[in-house]
Amino acid sequence: MSTNTTDNTRKVTTRRLIEMKRRGEKISMLTAYDYSSAKIIDEAGVDVILVGDSASNVMAGNITTLPITLDQMIYHGKSVMKATKRALVIVDLPFGTYQGNSKEALASAIRIMKESHAEAVKIEGGAEIRESIERILCAGIPVCGHLGLTPQSINKFGTYNVRAREAEEAEKLIEDARMLDEIGCFAIVIEKVPAELATRVAQSVSIPIIGIGAGGGVDGQVLVMHDMLGINKDFSPRFLRRYANLADIMDKAVKDYIKDVKSGDFPNESESY
């Protein structure tokens, strides 16, 4: 089993992700919504960049992911695509752009692919949106599923607590994952479910399961970049590991700048023309 075969030159494709699962190589995925941060995480070697609808929260300051529009997702996707050379880029289909009917779903996915140049779309849900996913797949657009805690359904769930603790919901999740595998999705994100269940799902499908709050027995992990870098300090779920405290670093830098401007220390002679 290989542990780190990150190849910084070879482009990551949907096919390559499936090969990685077969080889037992874990997949790394992070969100990005803009050119500058996408460039940094692509050059660092992340396998997949998700232009998530979490942009609604971390970029636009909304409480949920529901308000973000298709045009806004395309804008973020386009910015990320301009910066990305190696990682596979997936753009989320936002709330209200695929649930109505499968033709609308296909039209939304086509707009994302044509206008952002992204390489795949992600879509939340299982059996209830099967027809939409199949129609998108028929157009040659790779689809990543998303099961478990699907944030676009927060108003139905009423809470961001762990999903599928009960047998009935757990069984449905397994059936949905098998169905997504059978119809041709290339991966599934599984969010906030018991680790044991996520491991069972990963073992019962041929495509990679990328977990967030789903334990270590899956094929890869995804985190929201702003959370793992400590830019967003208000969000501290148990599953989050913070790799930096950028909010503190930025706070200090901004305070130092203000001090230097006020005191006249900035700019000095060498910083002037």
**191 counts as catalytic:** yes
8 A C-beta contact, residue 118 and residue 70: no
Nearest CA-CA partner of 94 in 116, 84, 82, 83:
116
By CB under 6 A, the residues from 15 to 74 that bind ligand KIV are 31, 50, 52-54
- Token pair belonging to 226: 């702003």
The one catalytic residue among 25, 175, 191, 196 = 191
If one asks whether residue 120 binds ligand KIV (CB under 6 A), the answer comes out as: no
Stretch 81-100: interaction string toward ligand KIV, x if CB under 6 A: -----------x--------
Alpha helix segments (H runs only) across the chain: 14-23, 35-44, 55-58, 70-83, 102-116, 130-138, 154-157, 167-183, 195-204, 225-228, 246-263
Binding residue for ligand KIV (CB under 6 A) from 189, 190, 209, 228?
Answer: 189
By rule CB under 6 A, what count of residues binds ligand KIV? 11
CB of 31 to ligand KIV, least distance (A): 5
How many residues would you count in the chain? Answer: 273
If one asks whether residue 143 binds ligand KIV (CB under 6 A), the answer comes out as: no
Dihedral sign (CA 26, 43, 257, 57): negative
Binding residue for ligand KIV (CB under 6 A) from 212, 229, 231, 246?
Answer: 212
Dihedral sign (CA 33, 226, 126, 84): positive
Binding site residues, ligand KIV, CB under 6 A: 31, 50, 52-54, 92, 189, 191, 212, 222, 224
Active site residues: 191
